[in-house]
């Protein structure tokens, strides 16, 4: 009997990082329970959560007496510890590329992340046009994705990987808002969005905001 798994996520279910870990747990078919943290009420700063979450951020995963945050560190941990669907490619260069993509999506593209917060994906679109800076970020995103996604491919690296979900979410900030996205990339993001593990997150009951 393995140690229990508990995933801490934001109360609105809008964190793209929490979504990535949630999808990973579902892909691995691991039983886990999920606890919501009210970030607006600063629950993550209070005693309780901050006692075990070193970064005081969601997602944080508890696996028995081990607690880990930073979504890509969590998904790498899950892939090393548990069998089942692989979350990362096994070939070293593809695996490195998947990690590069994850790190880049989490650290760059700030204008898109600000002007197309994930509320536009999980709640309602924004009526404000993209700024010049966000349009420039979008072009960089499209160039990266076009270079990485082989013609007629379902996934970036042959088999599905968690990087597909992260890229699809970034593209869908634009697609689902009605912003212009190259059709091939929009179609890829749409297909990735239909994955049952992704739909489980999309269909979470969200509080009104």
Ligand X SMILES: N[C@@H](CCC(=O)N[C@@H](CS)C(=O)NCC(=O)O)C(=O)O
Residues that bind ligand X (CB under 6 A): 10, 15, 17, 39, 44, 57-59, 70-72, 106
Decide whether 97 or 184 has the Cβ nearer to ligand X.
97
Burial of 17 (0-12, 13-18, 19+ CB in 10 A): buried
Classify residue 9 as left (phi > 0), alpha (psi -120 to 50) or beta: beta
How far apart (Å, rounded) are the C-alpha atoms in residues 182 and 88?
Answer: 26
Report CA torsion sign: 53, 55, 56, 59: negative
Least Cβ distance, residue 150 to ligand X (angstroms): 27
Least Cβ distance, residue 110 to ligand X (angstroms): 12
- Per-residue DSSP letter, 77: H
Least Cβ distance, residue 201 to ligand X (angstroms): 13
Range list of β-strands (E), the chain: 5-10, 33-37, 60-63, 66-69
Decide whether 57 or 63 has the Cβ nearer to ligand X.
57
Decide whether 68 or 134 has the Cβ nearer to ligand X.
68
Decide whether 39 or 186 has the Cβ nearer to ligand X.
39
How far apart (Å, rounded) are the C-alpha atoms in residues 1 and 14?
Answer: 32
Mind giving me the DSSP string for 36-70? EE-TTTTGGGSTTHHHH-TT--S-EEEETTEEEES
Decide whether 20 or 197 has the Cβ nearer to ligand X.
20
Least Cβ distance, residue 184 to ligand X (angstroms): 27
Least Cβ distance, residue 17 to ligand X (angstroms): 4
């Amino acid at each position: 009997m393995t140690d229990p798994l508990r995933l801490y996520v934001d109360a609105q279910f809008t964190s793209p990082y929490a979504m990535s870990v949630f999808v990973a747990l579902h892909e691995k078919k691991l039983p886990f329970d999920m606890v919501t943290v009210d970030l607006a009420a600063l629950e993550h700063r209070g005693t309780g959560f901050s006692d075990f979450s070193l970064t005081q951020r969601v997602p944080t995963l508890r696996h028995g007496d081990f607690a880990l945050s930073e979504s890509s560190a969590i998904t790498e941990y899950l892939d090393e510890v548990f069998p089942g669907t692989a979350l990362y490619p096994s070939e070293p260069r593809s695996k490195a590329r998947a990690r590069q993509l994850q790190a880049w999506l989490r650290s760059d593209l700030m204008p898109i992340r600000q002007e197309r917060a994930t509320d536009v994906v999980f709640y309602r679109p924004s009526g404000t046009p993209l700024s010049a800076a966000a349009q420039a970020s979008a072009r960089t995103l499209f160039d990266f994705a076009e270079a990485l996604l082989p013609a007629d491919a379902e996934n970036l690296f042959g088999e599905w990987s968690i990087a597909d979900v992260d890229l699809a979410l970034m593209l869908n900030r634009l697609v689902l808002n009605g912003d212009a996205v190259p059709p091939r990339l929009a179609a890829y993001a749409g297909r990735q969005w239909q994955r049952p593990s992704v739909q489980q997150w999309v269909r979470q009951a969200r509080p009104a905001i």
